[in-house]
Amino acid sequence: MDLSESARAVFAVLAGAGTATRPQLAAGAGLSKPTVSAAVAELEAADLAAHSGTASGATGRSAAVYRLGPAAGAVLAVDLGPARTQVRGCALDGTLLTECAGSREDAAGTVRKVLDALPADAPLRAVVVAVGDVTTRDRDGSGMRPATAKAGPVFDAMAVALPPGVPVHLENNVNCAALAELHEGAARGRRTFGYLRIGVGIGLGIVVGGQVLRGANGAAGEVARLPYPWDEGREPRHEALEDRMGVRSLLRRTAEAWPDDDEPCPETAEQLFALAGTGHRAAGAAVAGHAADIGRLAAAVAAVLDPGLIVLGGAVGANPQLVPGVRAELGRLSWPTDVVSSALGDSGTVVGATRLAVARGIQTVTGAVQAKH
């Protein structure tokens, strides 16, 4: 978009604030009041900013208040989960406009529903898609798609539903969830921590100094690739640790150990945890064993990162029944590290993807020019 540098900087500040007066915009952008006045006029002329009322200052004088205009547009955040797709449409100030959830197979249909519910005059500025695979991307950001075949067909069908020309960015779903926990969840106030997801698969989101660590190949935190088993006479297998830690293995081991004279063995993790919560001995033993396994993985994470805090998330990992056992095993094997359950649950990934989409949308409008600090 052909905007002056000052208008871009003011737009970025306004998007971050939601609403602001000219003095507030001047302070946030590090620009003089006359420059901000000219920038605001430029943004108003382009429908990127709009007058939204007045505010009274401490001296009793009124100041005009501005918000984003209709041409600022909207962004889309998509959580392409293993069984369910969650989609949110938001304004560039982060305001939720619409959201929808559906099956993974109908990701395209879920995206279309959200697109149809967005304001007709709001251009789509960016899309962030959270996927469970390590992603590859061209240097110019084009032609991005999941690196493995697991998400490929669903991603391709969903991409067809998007308007042409809109920038699409892929991000690891665990990284998105870690970002959400940092800003809105259990890790608020903690600049360094690990987000350990345990569900159908496993993954680790690493936050250091308030930034998500992605690694040279975008694969930081792919703990499924840790060598396992690592023992004399047994060769490590590809992603064998994920096979051990995933929910399918948990249910299989539970079934193998389930007493023949007991009530029917739980068929889902939800049933297993519900039964364990009643004090059922076999169910409790299965949950305790799984907590110990997670605690050993957490000890490996602590040995490498010393994160100070590990947030447990995922369809299985977020269950608070696991926390005592994980803490105990981690404490036995490593140094003191806080362990807590996710505060955001199933919504964490789409919440984090939304934050990234808003940032990408602002960059689309401003050409990545940021406010001065």
CATH architecture of the domain covering 5-71: Orthogonal Bundle (1.10)
pLDDT at 136: 52
pLDDT at 102: 95
Measured between alpha carbons, how far is 31 from 359 in angstroms, rounded to an integer?
Answer: 22
pLDDT at 58: 58
How far the first Cα of the chain sits from its last, in Å, is: 23
- Cα distances from 274 to residues 183, 279, 280, 320, in angstroms, run 30, 9, 9, 12
Q: Where in the chain is the domain with CATH 1.10.10.10?
A: 5-71
Superfamily of domain 73-175+349-366: ATPase, nucleotide binding domain (3.30.420.40)
The 10s digit of each residue's pLDDT in 79-121 is 998 889 999 999 999 999 999 999 989 999 999 999 999 998 8
Residues in the chain with pLDDT < 50? 137-144, 148-149, 369-373
pLDDT at 134: 55
Tell me if 212 sits within 8 A of 220, measured CB to CB: no
Query: How is domain 186-343 classified at the CATH fold level?
Result: Nucleotidyltransferase; domain 5 (3.30.420)
pTM for the complete prediction? 0.88
Tell me if 250 sits within 8 A of 292, measured CB to CB: no
Nearest to residue 323, comparing CAs of 198, 158, 208? Answer: 198
Q: Where in the chain is the domain with CATH 3.30.420.40?
A: 73-175+349-366, 186-343
